[in-house]
Structure 1
């Protein structure tokens, strides 16, 4: 599997394994989590995507328990995690309302929680999970610079940011933001025309794409029948399934998109790299895009 260079000394696998459902699995044992990671590694998928809030603030610890049992795994993967969402559950059960916190104190505390829960010494990339309308960009930017300088975090980025959010935060930082994780798929394709992809592509910033299967709707038979027919045709031509086609559509774009694939099914994990074998020329890409739009491009 080819890799995307993130910084001078850090690269991610082209496909990323998303762990947002890790704590929701019926089996959260260290052995089962280890099996998922090893299935990824066998395909060259080395980058794991976490967040403090996943599983009600429990998913990071599920991963950490696996590392306690199989510590050698830590040297074979890159860990991305996120912070700033505070919801009334888990360690924040006393919160009166769901809110965002990009204060220095919260960021520092979140990093320390993540390191402890995942049983690791360093986070490869920390993302600010959601734009905070109360963000003091000077304080947040300085805090992100601080955690990189401390050695606890190798690099920092954001998630779900618009261009104005990105430039505001970056203006107060010495460290360069290295990625934005945004929603992109055949069912959430507006990012290709509303500037979300363009500003990152212009800056040569690799993009992490969450929910590349549209929350499962693209493969479950729901929604756009015309799109499903078009995807099925491509899948049959390539002797694969429509999930691989949906991911290949993102991989074909020149903006270095890294789909974040979240599943607890071990067989599906073992086939995540099938998307790399799908032939996706320009006309095929537009056939799928046209079906997703429901009309011919202007």
Structure 2
């Protein structure tokens, strides 16, 4: 498994496993441990969480499983996110859907995540979404306090555009280590608007959520063009699994994107890992880009 070095002390597996749907899989703690161990066996050591996943349930499900084999914690990197507030029976104090990036909320969210994940620290904490009411000085104070307390090793953001990333980082004591954004052959916004260029400028490897476009890549109007092109490239690569081609397309980008495989099925996880063995030619990469756009590059 390839590794991406975020700092001198911290690296992530090139393929990240996402826990957004963990609650939907209805696994027992034992089955969740089995899934975690399967990921580790494949070289996937980085697990992506957020406080709100599963309406504030997924981190606890993962933590309950981890408590059965706590020694696994030292074999993995845990990422979590905060800043989105959902109305939920699991958080009675939350009365509406909004953003909250206050110092108080960040500190409380991290304490909740540490409790639910049954761990003493997070490897990386991300601000989940840009917040129009963000006070960067408060975020900086929260990050500094969490770092000093040993509760979070590094910090990053999610869904930030380049100017939002740079603004927040200008207030911090140390650089942000990643930006988690949506990237897929069907969703080109962050490929085209300079977000990935900014990652290259900052020398940070971004994380990519929904690399298969949530399955929509095989069902919407654009899929007619994409599927034909993906099938052709798959044949050239010697595989019948189009998801492998989709992962390979992301992995080919020079910013060293780390795609998040968010499946509870072992074969789907294995497909993401197999994609590391492919290296698309420029002809293949641009053919997929053209199919997604519906026209050639200028």
Q: TM-score, normalised by structure 1?
A: 0.96
2:12 pairs with 1:26: no
Q: Measure the CA separation in 1 of the matches of 2:156 and 2:90.
A: 24
Does 2:125 match 1:126?
Answer: yes
Over the aligned positions, Cα root-mean-square deviation in angstroms equals 1.2
**C-alpha contact 2:212 2:247 (8 A) present in aligned 1:** yes
Conservation of the 8 A alpha-carbon contact between 2:14 and 2:258: yes
- What are the ranges of 5 or more consecutive residues in structure 2 without an aligned counterpart? none
CA distance in 1, matches of 2:90, 2:147: 25
Deviations 1:61-112 (A, max 9, x none): 0000111111121111100000111110143344332011111111111111
Q: Output the CA distance in 1 between the equivalents of 2:72 and 2:237.
A: 33
**Whole-angstrom CA distance in 2 between matches of 1:244 and 1:147:** 38
Q: In 1, Cα distance between the equivalents of 2:253 and 2:279?
A: 13
SS at match of 1:143: helix
Pairwise CA distance, 1:11: 0.2
**2:272 corresponds to:** 272
Equivalent-residue separation in structure 2 for 1:42 and 1:96 (angstroms): 42
- Contact 2:243-2:271 at 8 Å conserved across structures: no
1:147 is paired with a residue of what secondary structure? helix
Pairing of 1:181-220 with structure 2 (within 5 A): 181-218=180-217, 220=218
After superposing on structure 2, the runs of 4+ consecutive aligned residues of structure 1 that deviate more than 4 Å are none
User: Which residue is equivalent to 2:80?
Assistant: 81
| Correspondence 1:216-255 to 2 at 5 A | 216-218=215-217, 220-224=218-222, 225-240=224-239, 241-255=241-255
| Structure 1 gap segments, 5+ residues each | none
Report SS of the residue matched to 2:17. Answer: strand
1:138 and 2:137 matched: yes
Paired positions, count: 296
Deviations 1:101-148 (A, max 9, x none): 111111111111111100111100000001111111111111112211
> Secondary structure in 2 aligned to 1:263?
coil
- The 1:94–1:115 alpha-carbon spacing in structure 2 relative to 1, beyond 3 Å, is closer
TM-score of the two chains, using structure 2 as the length reference: 0.96
